[in-house]
């Protein structure tokens, strides 16, 4: 069975200032998202599921449907803040989405096979898709997941702070801890962050999760259970978010799963801020000049 690629594309990109999922960065106006699907098709994925919002669904489909139709099976699911489990109602004043865990949960009715989950606005590199596809077709099990780890120093922006999941692994590359770390930024030759209201210096060599996960479909049951628990405690906190790393780490702590941290000889870059876009365009052009991508994807 071919694996599925789940693309989390419901965020509007508040720091970026627009719908960055459709920003052109390739030689012929291709988006980062298109490179992700292109790499996934080459790696052997059989279906792509987009998590989007109904407010921009028409614009999104018009941008991608004609390019991808016939190349890979396509599904759409919608992440809306009022899509809550039975027994819960949207609290007054809630505007912020519920987070990546909620986004993944939206796909539970359309994914029954092993799948990879990624962000729509991150460029992960062709080799990363090959590595995760090999894992999903040969190694994934209900109690064995994977993620692609990237060196933290290669995931920062020159134009502002970022949030990253900092990973700790054991001697066999199994994930033992993941800490959602915020306000990571460069200050001269130093890399600083804020952790538990304190300024902490990082080396830059840490393994960072860029939300590139390899899952068995059985995870949906765990996500739903944990989301219900999350809502019981946090539903009235207007800025609370339910992150997929929280789900994974809790399952690790309870001994339900192991997560292998895979590495790939692939670049990572993204468009957290508008100022990042020229760098992304330059890097994709270099990869195109090297023959890794055709001048025109489709």
Domains of the chain: 4-141+209-252+265-289 (3.90.550.10)
How far lies 102's CA from each of 84, 180, 222, 235, 242, in Å? Answer: 9, 17, 12, 13, 7
Beta partners for 82?
A: none
Write the pLDDT tens digit of every residue in 50-101. Answer: 999 998 888 889 889 999 999 999 999 999 999 999 999 999 989 889 999 9
Does residue 231 surpass a pLDDT of 80? Answer: yes
Q: Residue 121: how many CB atoms within 10 A of its CB?
A: 24
Does residue 20 surpass a pLDDT of 70? Answer: no
Return d(Cα 235, Cα 232) in angstroms, integer: 6
DSSP 90: P
Q: Which percentage of the chain shows pLDDT scores above 90? A: 76
Confidence of residue 271 (pLDDT cuts 50, 70, 90): confident
Return d(Cα 254, Cα 256) in angstroms, integer: 6
Give the model's pLDDT for residue 14: 46
Round the average pLDDT of the chain to a whole number and report it: 92
pTM to 2 decimals? 0.91
């Amino acid at each position: 069975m071919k694996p599925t690629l789940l693309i989390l594309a419901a965020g509007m990109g508040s720091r970026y200032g627009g719908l960055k999922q459709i920003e052109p960065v390739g030689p012929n106006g291709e988006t980062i998202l298109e490179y992700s699907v292109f790499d996934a098709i080459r790696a052997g994925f059989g279906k792509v599921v987009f998590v989007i919002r109904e407010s921009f669904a028409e614009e999104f489909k018009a941008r991608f449907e004609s390019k991808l139709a016939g190349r890979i099976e396509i599904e759409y699911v919608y992440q809306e803040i009022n899509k809550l489990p039975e027994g819960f109602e949207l609290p007054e004043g809630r505007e912020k989405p519920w987070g990546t865990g909620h986004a993944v949960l939206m796909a539970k009715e359309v994914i029954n096979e092993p799948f990879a989950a990624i962000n729509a606005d991150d460029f992960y590199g062709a080799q990363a898709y090959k590595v995760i596809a090999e894992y999903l077709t040969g190694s994934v099990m209900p109690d064995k997941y994977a993620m692609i780890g990237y060196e933290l120093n290669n995931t920062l922006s020159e134009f502002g702070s970022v949030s990253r999941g900092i990973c700790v692994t054991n001697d066999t590359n199994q994930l033992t801890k993941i800490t959602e770390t915020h306000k990571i930024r460069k200050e001269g030759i130093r890399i600083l962050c804020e952790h538990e209201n304190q300024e902490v210096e990082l080396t830059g060599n840490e393994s960072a999760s860029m939300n590139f996960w390899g899952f068995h479909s059985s995870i949906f049951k765990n996500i739903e259970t944990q989301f219900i628990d999350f809502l019981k405690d946090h539903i009235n906190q207007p800025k609370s978010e339910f992150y997929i790393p929280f789900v994974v780490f809790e399952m690790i702590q309870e001994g339900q799963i192991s997560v292998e941290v895979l590495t790939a000889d692939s670049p990572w870059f993204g468009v957290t801020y508008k100022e990042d876009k020229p760098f992304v365009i330059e890097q994709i052009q270099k990869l195109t000049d090297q023959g890794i991508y055709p001048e025109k994807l489709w």
